[in-house]
Amino acid sequence: MEIILKTDIQGLGYTNDLVDVKDGFARNYLIPKRKAIMADKTAKKVLAEVKKQKSFKEEKLKKEAETLAKALENVFVKIGAKAAETGKIFGSVNTIQIAKALNEQFKFDIDRKKIFVDGESIKELGKYKAKVSLHKDIKAEINFEVFAE
């Protein structure tokens, strides 16, 4: 079944994308949750007009994302955490702390939902990398270190 996404869905597509999914997934989850609409003839015409109008704004956002990605290349974030002498952290470091540290140290306001760390959270001291999705075509990688406070 062809549908038009109304929100970004990780692993499926972005807002206003025309995607093909299984009928049950569309009817039982995406459409009732208002995350998508069925792609009939009129919806496709409306989608074409919306994409035409948004193309200029999209180029501007893409250029801003590119400049932000270049700025993030040279960033090294330090995150303090309480840890045992063995190097294990009490609790964990996740995307919330990474986003907060980016904002405090470098004034980059990045949504925590756009930051991805392998393994969801960090439970030991050390140096790590995280991926930041700035735009659907642009992703940046940031380096960060978790140190004992």
- pLDDT tens-digit profile, the chain (149 residues): 999 999 999 899 999 999 999 999 999 999 999 999 999 999 999 999 988 888 888 888 899 999 999 999 889 999 999 999 898 999 999 999 999 999 999 999 999 999 999 876 799 999 999 999 998 889 999 999 999 98
pLDDT score for 20: 95
Q: Domains of the chain (ranges plus CATH)?
A: 2-61 (3.40.5.10), 69-148 (3.10.430.100)
pLDDT score for 51: 86
pLDDT score for 52: 85
Q: What is the pLDDT of residues 39-65, one digit of tens each?
A: 999 999 999 998 888 888 888 889 999
Number of Cβ within 10 Å of residue 6's Cβ equals 16
pLDDT score for 79: 93
pLDDT score for 59: 87
Q: What is the DSSP string of 10-70?
A: TTTB-TT-EEE--HHHIIIIITTTTSEEE--HHHHHHHHHHHHHHHHHHHHHHHHHHHHHH
pLDDT score for 58: 83
Cβ-Cβ contacts under 8 Å for 83 (sequence gap 6 or more): 89, 90, 125, 148, 149
